[in-house]
Amino acid sequence: MRDLALNGLARQPLLLAPAALGLGLISLMLARDGMPAWGWALVLGAWACAWALVAALAARVGQSGGGGDRALRLAIPLIFGATLLFLWEAVAVGARIPPVLLPPPSAIAARFAGSLPILYADFSQTFLRSVLIGYALGCSAAVVCALAIDRSPFLQRGLLPVGNFVAALPIVGIAPIMVMWFGFDWPSKAAVVVVMVFFPMLVNTVEGLKAAERMQLDLMRTWAASHRQTLLRLRLPMAAPFIFNGLKIASTLALIGAIVAEFFGTPTVGMGFRISTEVGRMNVDMVWAEIALAALAGSAFYGIIALIEQAVTFWHPSQRGARA
C-alpha cells in the first residue's frame, strides 16, 4: 500500500517540480559558504527529483494531443538542461573548484551581462561579417556548381568522388594560407568559410538533384516540360530536403571555420581572437562568455535554417511526421 502511494507521488509533476526547485535552491545557498556533507545529499536529492520529473513528463508525452504535447516536448529538454546547469553550479561552487579551471555558470552569466559591448563587437566582426558573408557566398557558389555539374554526367562522375573526398578533409587547415592571401581582416575568414561550406553543400545538392523519381521525370516529359521547367517545378523542390540538410551542416562548419581562422591572425576584435587572448591571460570566465555567445549564435543560426526548412518543405514526410 505504501509502495503504491510512493509510486503515485513519484509520478506527480506538480509535486516534483517544487521539490526539485526547493532542494536545489537550498543546496546552492549552502554551497556559497562551504558545502557541508549533507548539502551534497540535498544536491543528489534535487537531481533525483528533477530526473523523476523528466521521467514523469516523458511518460505523458503522446497522451494529450496538440499544443500540450508540444509544450511537453519542449519542457523536457529544458528541464534536463537546467539540471545540468544546476549540477555544474553546485559542484563548481560547493567543491571550491578554482575558477580558472571551471567557473560556475553564475559567474559566466555575470561576465556575459557585464561585457555586452565587447561581445557585440566580436559578434559583429566574426558572425555578421566573416560567417554570414562566407556562408552566403560558399553555399550559393556550391548550388550553382551543382546545377552546372548536373548538366554533365561526365563531371558528375568525376567531381563527385573528389568532392566527397574533400568534404572529409580537415579543411580548416587552409586557414593559415587564406590569412596569408587575404590579410588579417574578415575577408580571409570569409574565404575559409567559403571553402569549408562549399563541398558539403555541393555533395548534398547534387545528391538532392537525383532525388526526383523516374516516373515523375517521365510525367514532366509527357507534359513537354523544358529542362528549366523540370528543374524549377520538380527537381529543385524534390532536392530541397537535401539542400537544407547541407545548409544545416554548413551552418555549424561556418562558425567553426571563422573562429579557428582567427587563431592565425586577426585585427584586435573577433570571437576567436578574444578566446585566444583571454585564455592567455587566464580570464577563463570571459572565454566561457564568448563560448556561450558562440553557442547561442550557432543554435540560433541552425534554428532559423530549420524554421525556413519547415516552411519550404512542409510537404516532406519527415516534416509531416514531426507535426502530427
Please give the residue ranges that form the binding site for other proteins (CB under 8 A).
51, 54-55, 57-59, 61, 73, 76-77, 79-81, 84, 100-101, 154-155, 157-159, 161-162, 165, 168-170, 172-174, 176-177, 179-181, 251-252, 255-256, 259-260, 263-265, 271-272, 275-276, 279-280, 282, 284, 287, 290-291, 294-295, 298-299, 301-302
> Is the separation of the CB atoms in 290 and 119 below 8 Å?
yes
**Would you tell me how many other CB atoms lie within 10 Å of the CB of residue 194?**
22
CB nearer other proteins, residue 30 or residue 150? 150
> Is the separation of the CB atoms in 106 and 89 below 8 Å?
yes
d(CA 220, CA 199): 30
Task: Name the residue with cell 550557432.
Answer: 298
> Is the separation of the CB atoms in 290 and 275 below 8 Å?
yes
With 0-12 / 13-18 / 19 or more C-beta atoms within 10 angstroms meaning exposed / middle / buried, residue 266 is: buried
CB nearer other proteins, residue 230 or residue 283? 283
**Shortest approach of other proteins to residue 173 CB, angstroms?**
5
CB nearer other proteins, residue 82 or residue 236? 82
**Shortest approach of other proteins to residue 155 CB, angstroms?**
7
CB nearer other proteins, residue 237 or residue 265? 265
**Shortest approach of other proteins to residue 147 CB, angstroms?**
17
**By C-alpha distance, which of 62, 41, 107, 53 is closest to 80?**
53
> Is the separation of the CB atoms in 220 and 250 below 8 Å?
no
User: Cell for 93?
Assistant: 561552487
**CA within 13 Å, CB half, 7:** 4
**Shortest approach of other proteins to residue 321 CB, angstroms?**
14
> Is the separation of the CB atoms in 72 and 57 below 8 Å?
yes
**Shortest approach of other proteins to residue 218 CB, angstroms?**
27
* 3-state secondary structure at position 104: coil
CB nearer other proteins, residue 102 or residue 225? 102
d(CA 171, CA 164): 13
d(CA 134, CA 254): 8
**Shortest approach of other proteins to residue 162 CB, angstroms?**
5
CB nearer other proteins, residue 138 or residue 272? 272
d(CA 66, CA 80): 22
CB nearer other proteins, residue 14 or residue 37? 14
* 3-state secondary structure at position 42: helix
**Shortest approach of other proteins to residue 45 CB, angstroms?**
18
CB nearer other proteins, residue 229 or residue 299? 299
**Shortest approach of other proteins to residue 102 CB, angstroms?**
8
d(CA 275, CA 262): 10
